Structure 1
Amino acid sequence: MHPPQKGDPMPSTPDYSPENREAAFAAFRAQHPCYEDTRILDDLRSREYARLDALDQVYLDYTGSGLYALSQLRRHMALLEEGVFGNPHSKNPTSLAMTHLVEQAREYVLRFFNASPEEYVAIFTPNASGALKLVGEAYPFAPGGRFLPAYDNHNSVNGIREFARAKGAEVTYLPTVPPELRLDSKRLRAELEHTQPGSHNLFAYPAQSNFSGVQHALEWIAEARAQGWDVLLDAAAFVPTNRLDLGRWKPDFVPLSFYKMFGYPTGVGCLLARKEALQKLRRPWFAGGTISITSVQGEGWHYLLEGAAGFEDGTVNFLNLPAVEIGLHHIAKIGIGTIHERVTCLTDYLLRQMSALRHSNGAPLVKIFGPADTTARGGTIAFVLNDPEGIRLDYRKVEALANRENISLRTGCFCNPGSGEIAHNLTREEMAAIFGRDEPVDFETFYEWSRREYGRAPGAIRISLGIATNFADVYRFMRFLASFVDKPHTALHKVQVEYPMYDLLRDSA
């Protein structure tokens, strides 16, 4: 949209006042009639997530973490209160009782994702990053082999490149294409054709970006496997609001994080692995719980257990594993399709409303990174705000103002540097200048240096929707966003940003 010409009417900011909310909700329902099919979630919010309204919280960081339902806690606590459970590595009554619950949870994880136990195995890990490390350290990378990650990968996937390079494999990144930040399909097909006979090659990409919410084609799984590639599908950001059917799609490795799906428990992730692909992995070490026998009197005298047991180092987080099954039952009872429908409706509303916000001179307030509509995209929206002169507002100060309004959003690079670099047009030469410095650079220094040198900086503001999001949440967020209309960037200079040091050092999820 071009700035209005002399004599043209100035754009007006929509009325997001509390008094206008009911009228806005009625208009929203008329535009999104399928929203009525998700009203079960409103009842669920009043019963299971009532603390959100009791504490006046607008939670828009579901990609960072899901929220737990009250009934999840009660069922888990009741189980622990009424039972006596021992370490599942023993064979006594309390241990056998725990073993039964662990294996029951394992079986239900496979069932939830329609993964045949004849084809897939569920390996419990501390988190999704732990699942990825299992693959990276044990995959048979070698000279002549390749690792093909995507620009849009989370850093826990990017880290696999260090294992690949250490073993002599070639590492090639698959770029994303702005403005929608979708992976370059032509480049992908060309890369998939480039392999050597007898080599091991791993293609890794996310089903949904944790940066922009863009969803990448699951059809690439079969296409890559047909050309001899193993496929690692990062599903951590996808599965909280979308169905992943492993009976239809057949990735070799799928890392998951359960707290991102339903909030509780933390400290439990999973690697869903095809048994055929799992047999290729060669672990560089062993730990308690992963071996059948070993000896200290000879080099290499140990035998790993088969299947999941050979990859679950030490004692699994056994008391929390029943809570995984409880959480999955909670999602299944609601229906992942219902959650998906609601998130899609509310995401569409936000994309339309955010794109329409303009300053009095006609300049847009919001720049969205990624798809501008809900076609092949999830409920994660990354964006920045510009003042009337097009000068970017400091997202750290926007977050500080959101905190005052009890709005939980996310800022930074979200542990996804590739999408951030492409979104902000940071070139290889510019990044080389950062990494060529004598001293290591933390994110805060990187941010300030980029702003000073290039007039732009990595990072964005991110909101993400989930199971308990309702219209009142997104309406209140739009009211907050509209407060920046016609506000110069200098108006934020006095906003104090106070973060503890560990927040400056860590930029994840």
Structure 2
Amino acid sequence: MSNSGSTSAACRRDFAATTSSSIFPNTVFTNHECLPSLHESFADFTNVYPKYHETAEVDRIRAKEYYHLSQSNHTCLDYIGIGLFSSSQLHNHESSSQVRSDFPFFSLSYKTGSLKTQLLHGGQESELESAMRNRIMDFLNISENDYSMVFTANRTSAFKLVAESYPFKTSRKLLTVYDYESEALEGMINSSEKRGAKVMSAEFSWPRLRIQSAKLRKMVVSKRKKKKKRGLFMFPVHSRITGSRYPYIWMTMAQENGWHVLVDACALGPKDMDSFGLSLFQPDFLISSFYKICGENPSGFACLFVKKSAVSVLEVSTSTGIVNLVPAKQLLQIAGDSSGTDTELEQISRLGMQLDALGTANSFSGLISNQSTPTRRLKQERPERAEEAANWEEIEISSEKDENSRSSGNGNLEVVCRGLDQVDSLGLMVITNRARYLINWLVSSLRKLNHPNSKGIPLVKIYGPKIKFDRGPALAFNVYDWNGEKVEPVLVQKLADRNNISLGYGFLHHIWFSDKYAEEKGRILEKRESGAKGMDANKSKAKPDLGITVVTAALGFLANFEDVYRLWAFVAQFLDADFVEKERWRYTALNQKTVEV
């Protein structure tokens, strides 16, 4: 090993050792009332991680540009993706805009067509779309010389577009590397199987949920000397549920063995593309997702990037999911100038439904506009439902020549995405280090919670990586009562909602148990019917999926110490058996009114 490599490994070991030994050393908490205060905990936290103060600029940005997070006393731990705009940017526009405050600056307009045709010949691109495409490609460090891009409604649509265009008749296999159930992935698998694909999946070794390397290598590596395109290899870089990071060598191995590679970058941190090495790996497809404003409006879109040299392998097929970015005032003009044709009436009807929905729609972290509805119904339907649900959702960009847009020197429109600008100004190291300190403190602190009985049962079970230097800022866990019985993740999520903490829940699967853990397998795995809602899952040969339902938390770049402390203090309340039973009965009594599945 080189000196730099050994030094890096030593730094990682030192970080893990320091975290384990310095956060509440030799302490176990058995009573939530005995937790140290926020102030005391933060002082200890900064003693363990003194460089956290170097990320203070994030706190200044949060206070100035996202003041709604403090005003609402809301902790948002369920956002995955990259925020485009800041809250102050939205409200500054609202105060000067002539359109109604809850009407979006821009909306998504669906179109039906062929992905391949769109990539080869393009379409009529508006000034707005050109500006947004340029800004996003610059933000992600993706060159227009190498990749073409289309806007899609969401991650699910992007996956499905690839599935419906990829030549599975000749490149038969679809190999995925996901340790969790995903509506987007289920949709892609369903579409691919209809087109003749043979679907395979990596497995993840219990208990650390690392990739089962021997099995995956057998699926990736071709035994034939002659190279032949084997199919599509879907690689998520890291798990958006457990925070596990996967070695990039799998992409190289897949390419060397004749696979096309699709990189799912939706779970990457906002600046992780800076260290990804796109020019080195050059995947054939890359998908990234963006939302509007953290804690205020989760609607947004996804971007599908296709390597120009890979476009020729796609097949021409009619699909939905590609969208245009349409100025809101343009939609208003359509409604006002309509001559009453069926097509126009359909457009206006859709617009009307969108406007009506804006009055009642809920985000999955806080509420849109000033709504006070306490439930997040879309979130209950499926772990990712809230992220994927906004098929009609609007895009928040200013069409006015105000602070939200500007003209460049050559007369082209430039869209001001203050969320992206802030991330660029902070840089990779500040964002990564901050998330590293916060997530590892949270993991360590949760593991200090034990029930006050003779068995000393841990309150929390964490899945995937524990304290680790390079773990991602996502966490999968479950809460257990005094008897060692799991508290339903949906109950934990709903109780967190009541405490103004937004969490998610997911389903871990494709878990591989060695003989050593064979006895645990029966106790741990749950049965769940495979197939996402809305998919053709009613096949007679469909078999139940085995896995683990978990509570999930994800830290965005705006997360601060108070956010993770509040989650820790909330979870600690489950140490009180009366709290669990009281809230369980209360939840059951209110279930019909608060949860709609």
TM-score (norm 2): 0.65
Provide the rounded CA distance (Å) in 2 between the counterparts of 1:408 and 1:247: 37
* Alignment-mate amino acid for residue 238 of structure 1: L
Distance 1:318 1:465, change over 3 A: closer
Provide the rounded CA distance (Å) in 1 between the counterparts of 2:176 and 2:191: 13
Quick one: which of 215, 221, 244 aligns to 1:193? Answer: 221
Whether the 8 Å contact between 2:479 and 2:486 is mirrored in structure 1 is yes
Whether the 8 Å contact between 2:511 and 2:547 is mirrored in structure 1 is no
Query: Which one is further off, 239-248 or 329-338?
Result: 239-248
Query: Which one is further off, 346-355 or 276-285?
Result: 276-285
Provide the rounded CA distance (Å) in 1 between the counterparts of 2:132 and 2:267: 21
For 2:86, the equivalent position in structure 1 comes to: 69
Q: CA deviation at 1:85?
A: 10
**Map 1:98-177 → 2, pairs under 5 A:** 99-142=126-169, 145-152=172-179, 154-177=182-205
**Map 1:187-336 → 2, pairs under 5 A:** 187-194=215-222, 198-240=228-270, 242-243=272-273, 244-259=276-291, 266-285=299-318, 320=397, 325-336=417-428
Provide the rounded CA distance (Å) in 2 between the counterparts of 1:316 and 1:279: 32
* Alignment-mate amino acid for residue 36 of structure 1: H
Whether the 8 Å contact between 1:148 and 1:203 is mirrored in structure 2 is yes
Distance 1:319 1:19, change over 3 A: closer
SS in 1 for 2:157: helix
Distance 1:65 1:254, change over 3 A: closer
Q: CA deviation at 1:106?
A: 1.4
**Map 1:403-482 → 2, pairs under 5 A:** 403-413=497-507, 418=510, 425=521, 431=527, 458-482=548-572
Q: CA deviation at 1:39?
A: 0.6
Q: CA deviation at 1:119?
A: 1.2
Provide the rounded CA distance (Å) in 2 between the counterparts of 1:17 and 1:64: 36
Q: CA deviation at 1:349?
A: 0.4
Provide the rounded CA distance (Å) in 2 between the counterparts of 1:343 and 1:378: 8
Whether the 8 Å contact between 2:450 and 2:457 is mirrored in structure 1 is yes
SS in 2 for 1:268: strand
For 1:398, the equivalent position in structure 2 comes to: 492
Distance 1:230 1:144, change over 3 A: closer
* Alignment-mate amino acid for residue 155 of structure 2: A
Distance 1:235 1:411, change over 3 A: same
**Alignment: residue pair count:** 449
Provide the rounded CA distance (Å) in 2 between the counterparts of 1:151 and 1:389: 32
Whether the 8 Å contact between 2:300 and 2:393 is mirrored in structure 1 is no
Q: CA deviation at 1:47?
A: 0.8
Q: CA deviation at 1:190?
A: 1.6
Q: CA deviation at 1:406?
A: 1.3
Quick one: which of 471, 489, 493 aligns to 1:377? Answer: 471
Whether the 8 Å contact between 2:28 and 2:450 is mirrored in structure 1 is yes
Question: Deviations 1:170-226 (Å, cap 9, x if unpaired)?
Answer: 221111112222222222222111377544411112122122121212232222112
* Alignment-mate amino acid for residue 173 of structure 2: R
- Segments of structure 2 that go 5 or more residues without pairing to the other structure are 1-25, 100-104, 110-122, 324-391, 399-413, 539-543
Q: CA deviation at 1:38?
A: 0.6
Provide the rounded CA distance (Å) in 2 between the counterparts of 1:288 and 1:316: 13
Distance 1:12 1:115, change over 3 A: closer
Q: Name the Cα RMSD after superposition.
A: 4.3
TM-score (norm 1): 0.75
- The reply on whether 1:495 has 2:586 as its aligned counterpart is yes
* Structure with more relative contact order (C-alpha pairs < 8 Å, separation 6 or more): 2
Provide the rounded CA distance (Å) in 2 between the counterparts of 1:182 and 1:206: 14
Q: CA deviation at 1:366?
A: 0.5
SS in 2 for 1:247: helix
Distance 1:36 1:206, change over 3 A: same
- Segments of structure 1 that go 5 or more residues without pairing to the other structure are 1-8, 89-95, 291-314, 443-448, 451-455
Q: CA deviation at 1:376?
A: 3.5
Whether the 8 Å contact between 1:16 and 1:476 is mirrored in structure 2 is no
Question: Deviations 1:441-470 (Å, cap 9, x if unpaired)?
Answer: 99xxxxxx99xxxxx984111111112211
SS in 2 for 1:39: helix
Question: Deviations 1:77-108 (Å, cap 9, x if unpaired)?
Answer: 699879x99999xxxxxxx9983332232122
For 1:356, the equivalent position in structure 2 comes to: 448
* Alignment-mate amino acid for residue 317 of structure 2: P
Provide the rounded CA distance (Å) in 2 between the counterparts of 1:191 and 1:27: 47
> Higher strand proportion, which one?
2
Q: CA deviation at 1:389?
A: 2.2
**Map 1:60-99 → 2, pairs under 5 A:** 60-63=77-80, 68-73=85-90, 99=126
Distance 1:135 1:365, change over 3 A: same
Q: CA deviation at 1:236?
A: 0.8
Distance 1:324 1:271, change over 3 A: farther
Provide the rounded CA distance (Å) in 2 between the counterparts of 1:434 and 1:426: 18
Distance 1:60 1:469, change over 3 A: same
Whether the 8 Å contact between 1:120 and 1:272 is mirrored in structure 2 is yes
